[in-house]
Structure 1
Amino acid sequence: MSGRFSKLTKIPTDPAAKLLAQTNVKLETPLDAPASASVEEVLTELDGKGANVDLLRLLSIALPPRERVWWACLAARDIVGPGVENETASLQAAEAWVFRPGDDTRGVAIDSMEHADKDDVTVHCAMSVMYSDGTLGTGDMAQVPAPPGGSSIAAFAMNIEAIATRTDDFDAYIQELIDRAVDIGRGGNGKRKEKGEGV
């Protein structure tokens, strides 16, 4: 193995096929790996086949809820830009939930979607928060199951929205999103160190 997908300490040790089945997601790329193959093994195979969309899809499923939402938030930041002056209510609420997960911050994220502009793609971040524990929300909604893989699908969608804005460096940016998820899966913050940004 190349090592690109090694040491993913935040990612479950369950076989990739099990995680995919739990979220009712199928990869478009035919796999040679057995059903027992780990996430690392399947990611490595997908990388070798140049299956970047499936790589992003599997990473969105394999990352735990907080890490997944943070990954989505970074993609949203790529679109809107850094700083408080650029953030949307949904992005702000999702980031707040990452740093202080709980019913209160989750409720704010859910509420932000109701007041978002219809063309605000950052609602995907808040939606990933809403479905983060496999339910439709807090209070009574905590008794209602979310769509299978809802949180992962929202995070994946946020990254796809970000890709759509990058026509000049499309391929390089996809690799950046993959490496960002891998860094988060290793316990990092997904931010490039050369930018001088700390954890």
Structure 2
Amino acid sequence: MSKRYEGMTKVPDMPAARMLAEHGFELDTRVKAPASAKPEAVLAELDDAQAWPDVLKVLAAILPARERIWWACLAARDLPGTDPDKPHAALAAAEDWVRRPTAENRERAQAALDHLKPKDPMGKLAMAVVYAEGTLGPGELSEMPAPPGGSQIMALMVNVDALKARREESKVYTQLVIDRAVDIARGGNGKIETVTAGEEG
């Protein structure tokens, strides 16, 4: 069994199945681990099966809000056309929200979302921030609950968009995306250059 997912101290101490259900995620792979299994056990089983899409789903479901948004920010920086020196308004707002999760920075993400074209992938990052506190947004919208797993799904989709943009290196990049999440879950910044697994499976 893989030890790749040990030491994720930022992850809530609760069963992976519970967090997946709370956020509306369903795995395509049948997991043998019991319903009470913690995330590291479920992830290790999925890793051994090389069920990478399900690994990403679990990571999106278990990362706390700030860690989840930061994971998505790293992927957003990999999207085509992203200027690292002049980040998109949505990306800048998201990164600032991670550093300071204030209502003001959440409002900036909402404002960026309002000015984006419908298919702009940065919209998913902005929505991940807007939904991060479990409501539809700041201000009056804070009285209404966000869709179940709204922030988690949007953060996952930012990473999926980055994966799609890197089809030629998707196998290696998938492992990088996974290792970023694990590093963040351990308290790191996710800015890693090597991967712990790079199987061609």
Match in the other structure for 1:184:
184
| 2:78 pairs with 1:78 | yes
Aligned residues: 193
Match in the other structure for 1:39:
39
Name the amino acid aligned to 2:54. Answer: D
Supply the distance in 1 between the matched residues of 2:124 and 2:70 (Cα, whole angstroms): 12
Q: CA deviation at 1:83?
A: 2.2
Supply the distance in 1 between the matched residues of 2:141 and 2:184 (Cα, whole angstroms): 29
Q: CA deviation at 1:82?
A: 5.1
Q: CA deviation at 1:110?
A: 0.9
Match in the other structure for 2:151:
151
Supply the distance in 2 between the matched residues of 1:32 and 1:161 (Cα, whole angstroms): 30
Q: 1:106 to 1:18 in 2, by over 3 A?
A: same
Moved more, 152-161 or 92-101: 92-101
Unaligned segments of structure 2, at least 5 residues: 195-201
Supply the distance in 2 between the matched residues of 1:58 and 1:100 (Cα, whole angstroms): 25
Q: CA deviation at 1:15?
A: 0.2
Match in the other structure for 1:172:
172
Q: CA deviation at 1:53?
A: 0.4
Moved more, 120-129 or 146-155: 120-129
Report percent identity of matched pairs.
47
CA-atom RMSD in angstroms: 1.3
Match in the other structure for 1:121:
121
Q: CA deviation at 1:193?
A: 6.0
Supply the distance in 2 between the matched residues of 1:175 and 1:193 (Cα, whole angstroms): 11
Instruction: Describe the SS at the equivalent of 1:37.
Output: coil
Moved more, 21-30 or 39-48: 21-30
Please show how residues 70-109 of structure 1 align to structure 2 within 5 Å.
70-79=70-79, 80-81=81-82, 83-85=84-86, 87-109=87-109
Paired residues of 2:2 and 2:45 also in contact (CA < 8 A): no
Match in the other structure for 1:12:
12
Supply the distance in 1 between the matched residues of 2:5 and 2:164 (Cα, whole angstroms): 25
Paired residues of 2:2 and 2:47 also in contact (CA < 8 A): no
Match in the other structure for 1:197:
none
TM-score, normalised relative to structure 1: 0.93
Q: 1:38-77 CA distances to partner (integer Å, 9 max, x unpaired)?
A: 0000000000111100100110110000000000000010
Instruction: Describe the SS at the equivalent of 1:78.
Output: coil
Match in the other structure for 1:134:
134
Q: 1:74-98 CA distances to partner (integer Å, 9 max, x unpaired)?
A: 001011445233x211111111111
Paired residues of 1:91 and 1:123 also in contact (CA < 8 A): no
Name the amino acid aligned to 1:100. Answer: R
Name the amino acid aligned to 1:123. Answer: G
Instruction: Describe the SS at the equivalent of 1:168.
Output: helix
Q: CA deviation at 1:2?
A: 2.7
Q: CA deviation at 1:168?
A: 1.6
Please show how residues 19-58 of structure 1 align to structure 2 within 5 Å.
19-58=19-58
Q: 1:8-34 CA distances to partner (integer Å, 9 max, x unpaired)?
A: 000011000110111121111111000
Q: 1:100-137 CA distances to partner (integer Å, 9 max, x unpaired)?
A: 11101001101110101334201211111111111011
Supply the distance in 2 between the matched residues of 1:119 and 1:147 (Cα, whole angstroms): 20
Supply the distance in 2 between the matched residues of 1:104 and 1:168 (Cα, whole angstroms): 39
Unaligned segments of structure 1, at least 5 residues: 195-199
